[in-house]
Chain A
């Protein structure tokens, strides 16, 4: 599903955020991405959603070489990927309901279908009762869960999450990770960037570890984890 081949990302200011990163995440696999602040986790996720482009090396998503993807085809790629952003990226002049509905509006669903899916997604993250609220009236953790609902509402085949539990208490974090596992169990490929090492250790998934832009562990899938290819 995701393949990095010797990928380097150098930002315009010359800073090299990723250096020679290679790994392969199979379809239906779930993995964590860790590393200290500034190690390049967000950068790696941005390369997958083409928010940034790799300087050298190849990034393939679903067999597609992103370097060869034309600008006008980018929306199509992003619609197949659900992303939970580190800074939520919600629209503050719209209600929770309308924020979550956005991907469906873009995809052109009917009102009835949209309502059904939005409520299901909000129900999953435990925020159905806040559907008419505006994001500013929500806590950081609630905003993060709205972001999660928006990321999964269009049932993407790939789910990327950048620090999805940054603002959550341990119990809620565990619940959110449970949601990721549930999505993974229905076939969604999941990649979660997180600092939450204690939680990772409890769970039987591969962990990719970045250090100053280099992948120092987890490049290969351990034989013990199961995937449905």
Chain B
């Protein structure tokens, strides 16, 4: 074998030794290691859970008809002919895709059909229901629908205008806030994970102070002395990330049945979905990354302080 090849092999071997050597050290103190990993796991599970919750909400929201619709309730005095003319003029207008007229009679028929109050209405000598124009905006963007709504509202024939999907818009707004919250929470808890790992590594360094001193005395380079601590951080991150996934899957398992029952009540086929492969890898990757960086920060600060005398 050629020399550079042997070098590479040795390099890999040394890193593998550090990798498994540090794992062995962690397993030697299983309870302490598990406690640290659990703290990290909970910190990673919280933003992951919130993120999944948002994803599921989004799926519910898109399941509903997403295109907004504007209902224009016309004044009582407006006759059906006037309403037809208004509908025709609105059709020519930009922004409206379709305009459907529900005349007073149609409204009454519909109401009689669906409400069961038909007999009560017959007792009245006059139809109390207004004509209604249902306008479908060209764009499904809630903002554009809002602009159109404002314009239509000011028409003299219109008594009341209503954006049917206003609640959907509100839901979207709430979810946008939620997404922001996930980011903020992930940032804060990521910082917490860094601190937890940094502190754990600091204690590990202090416990192995004698070893660090001896290694420095006999010529151990900074990279060599740093290596096991970095791998310890990596393991904490990986264990924490795995625990976070376990916590999330456990919670979903516990929630699945009540949600199924709820879905049946709403005759929906909705099912709670867990993290997909990418999300799972992201959680594990964040754990590993935070572990490594946290260890790096601690090692940078504290190894320098230890000098032989």
B-contacting residues of A (Cβ < 8 Å)? 49, 51-52, 72, 75-81, 83, 85, 89-93, 102-103, 106-108, 110, 150
Contacts and interface: CB of A to CB of B under 8 A. Distances in A.
A90 B222 CA distance: 20
B211 A91 contact: yes
Interface string B220-234: 111010000000000
Contacts of A103: 218-219
A91 B211 CA distance: 6
A36 B215 CA distance: 30
Minimum-distance CB pairs A-B, first 5: A79-B219, A78-B219, A75-B221, A75-B219, A106-B220
Contacts, number: 52
A106 B215 contact: yes
**Is the contact region of chain B dominated by helix, strand, or loop, or is it mixed?**
helix
Given A51-B308, A108-B14, A91 B219 contact: no
Contacts of B10: 108, 110
Contact of A51 (B217, B221, B224): B217
Contacts of B309: 51-52
Contacts of B78: none
Contact of A85 (B14, B211, B216, B217): B217
A89 B11 CA distance: 27
A69 to B, nearest CB: 13
Contacts of A76: 219
Given A72-B222, A106-B224, A110-B10, A91 B214 contact: yes
Contacts of B214: 89-91, 102
B31 to A, nearest CB: 19
B215 A102 contact: yes
Contact of A106 (B11, B211, B213, B219): B219
A37 B221 CA distance: 33
B217 A106 contact: no
A93 B211 CA distance: 9
A76 B211 CA distance: 18
Contacts of A102: 214-215, 218
B210 A91 contact: yes
A108 B13 CA distance: 10
Interface string B182-223: 000000000000000000000000000011011111111110
22 contacts: A51-B217, A51-B309, A72-B221, A75-B220, A75-B222, A76-B219, A78-B217, A81-B219, A89-B213, A89-B214, A89-B217, A90-B214, A91-B211, A91-B214, A92-B210, A103-B218, A103-B219, A106-B218, A106-B219, A106-B220, A106-B221, A106-B224
A150 B218 contact: yes
Interface centre among B11, B219, B220, B222, by most A CB within 10 Å?
B219
Contacts of A106: 215, 218-221, 224
A191 B115 CA distance: 108
A72 B11 CA distance: 20
